[in-house]
Amino acid sequence: MMLRDLTNSPEFVEELLPAAERTALLYHLSYLCLGSFPKLERILRQRAVENQLLFVSSETLLLKCVTTSEDLVSALLPMLRLSVENNQTILAGRSLEKAKAWITEIVDRVNAIIDRYEKHNYNVASSTSDVITEKAETEKEKVETSSEIKSLGEIVNKFQDELNKIFEEIGETETKIQEKNAELQNHVSDICRKSHGLGILAAIVPFIGPLIKSIYDTATAPGATAKTTALTSELSRLSSEKSDLRNKDWNIQVQMTDIQLKLATLKMQEGKIPDPVHLGEVQMCLSQIQKILIQLQKFWMSVGELLDSLKKKTFVGEDIVAPEMNENTKSFFLKSIEIAEEYWKTFGQSCLKAKDIFSLQNKDAYKFLESSPPVDPVEWKQEYESVMEKLKNISPNPLCEANNAAITE
């Protein structure tokens, strides 16, 4: 079995959470900084509502992932168990065909959502450009800039340079993780091809974690086990390195908070439009969500490929489900179904958690649009600081420890 594009952990979808939570808060900050300018307020309202509707669709998509996971656990896997126990190839084929239809529908839905995120991100970038243009127009007659604004701007630029470097390092580390992950997947695929029992498990369980665990449990071959250990250890090290970089990035952003608040306040006092820094951060969050949705799409496509392969195996010479199946093979298959049920339940729960976050965002996170930004400077500062405090409480690495445990278990 080829295991390309499969994820290590069924909780990978939970990486949506920090980006989803941050998006509305960043829109709120943008609204506070730019909403006192009528033209920009209209633009921000349009983008924020557009984002809210996109999150409604994201919630619906994740609910579909939840229900499909439940259907696999409650319908497909029990049918496969029954097929194996009673040697019924036709029943197995029909069940797999029905499951494939569910998955095809999800892949199409994810693809449509990805396109919408692409369009929305483009619209946010366009709005950022509009803000910059409007900013330039309003400052034509205000050439003089206070020394304090200049000083704070230089500090922000210094922080931004540091963030850009960290961003590049994170990208390089992610590339290394992808390469090492592909090497691990190919290694596990090779072992599964040589082991009938692991081959059956690979056909049923769409996550590499339990396959690695089975390699250790069965002690397939000393050399194979040693290489697996080396690869998983390297992946764990790279994941920790990425986590450290994310934390460093987050700490710098927190340090920028007070500077950006002071800078925005001073510029508005002088009648100037603050820089649209928070809209840029919105784009980064949208890109992160889009990237994870692409992972989700690849995941479901891979599951579909596994089911196709499994279906073919029920009608060829190496039948998994066949009258001549020996008890040992049958036992492997039934055990694999048990493992698959647990991992699909975990995946469904993770999708439900992400779905609930999107639901919460849709209901409460955009209430700030119901009124204009506070005119009173004290109220304005209190609201800004309240939003920033919520941002600080969002963990940049919600799954780091879980992922490391899944890789090394």
User: What local confidence, expressed as pLDDT, does residue 177 receive?
Assistant: 87
User: What local confidence, expressed as pLDDT, does residue 165 receive?
Assistant: 92
User: What local confidence, expressed as pLDDT, does residue 401 receive?
Assistant: 44
User: What local confidence, expressed as pLDDT, does residue 404 receive?
Assistant: 43
Residue 314 in this model has a pLDDT that exceeds 60: no
CA 32 to chain centre: 28
Write down the mean pLDDT value for the chain.
81
User: What local confidence, expressed as pLDDT, does residue 402 receive?
Assistant: 45
User: What local confidence, expressed as pLDDT, does residue 113 receive?
Assistant: 94
User: DSSP assignment, residue 35?
Assistant: T
Query: CA 80 to CA 78: how far, in whole Å?
Result: 5
Report the range out of 85-99, 231-245, 327-341 with the highest average pLDDT: 231-245
With bands split at pLDDT 50, 70 and 90, how would you rate the model's confidence at 323?
Answer: low
User: What local confidence, expressed as pLDDT, does residue 320 receive?
Assistant: 52
Give the closest residue to 403 by CA, choosing from 15, 66, 2: 15
Residue 25 in this model has a pLDDT that exceeds 80: yes
**Where along the chain do its domains lie?**
12-408
Is residue 321 within 8 A of residue 87, CB to CB? The reply is yes
User: What local confidence, expressed as pLDDT, does residue 322 receive?
Assistant: 52
Task: Flag the least confident range among 31-45, 176-190, 199-213, 252-266.
Answer: 199-213
pLDDT (tens digit per residue) in 336-347: 888 888 889 989
The proportion of the chain whose per-residue pLDDT surpasses 90, expressed as a percent, equals 22
What's the CA angle centered on 55, arms 54 and 56, to 5 degrees? Answer: 90
| Mean local confidence (pLDDT), 35-64 | 91
φ, ψ for residue 95 (rounded to 5)? -65, -45
User: In which residue are the tokens 């409007």 written?
Assistant: 134
pLDDT (tens digit per residue) in 346-393: 899 999 999 998 888 877 788 898 888 888 888 998 999 899 888 888
With bands split at pLDDT 50, 70 and 90, how would you rate the model's confidence at 315?
Answer: very low
Is residue 149 within 8 A of residue 267, CB to CB? The reply is yes
Computed from CA positions of residues 66, 62, 96, 187, in that sequence, does the dihedral angle turn out positive or negative? negative
What's the CA angle centered on 231, arms 225 and 234, to 5 degrees? Answer: 140
User: In which residue are the tokens 């205000």 written?
Assistant: 142
Q: Residue 90: helix, strand or coil by DSSP? A: helix
| Mean local confidence (pLDDT), 146-156 | 82
How far CA 157 is from CA of 129, 259, 280, 292, in Å, comes to 19, 11, 14, 29
With bands split at pLDDT 50, 70 and 90, how would you rate the model's confidence at 118?
Answer: very high
| Mean local confidence (pLDDT), 55-72 | 92
CATH class of this structure's domain 12-408: mainly alpha
Task: Flag the least confident range among 47-51, 105-109, 149-153, 222-226.
Answer: 222-226
Query: CA 118 to CA 283: how far, in whole Å?
Result: 10
User: DSSP assignment, residue 205?
Assistant: -
Question: Tell me, what amino acid is at 176?
Answer: K
Is residue 124 within 8 A of residue 286, CB to CB? The reply is yes
The token pair at 281 is 């951060």
User: What local confidence, expressed as pLDDT, does residue 406 receive?
Assistant: 42
Task: Flag the least confident range among 108-117, 119-128, 179-188, 368-377.
Answer: 179-188
Residue 319 in this model has a pLDDT that exceeds 70: no
How far CA 137 is from CA of 52, 78, 142, 225, 383, in Å, comes to 30, 66, 10, 65, 28
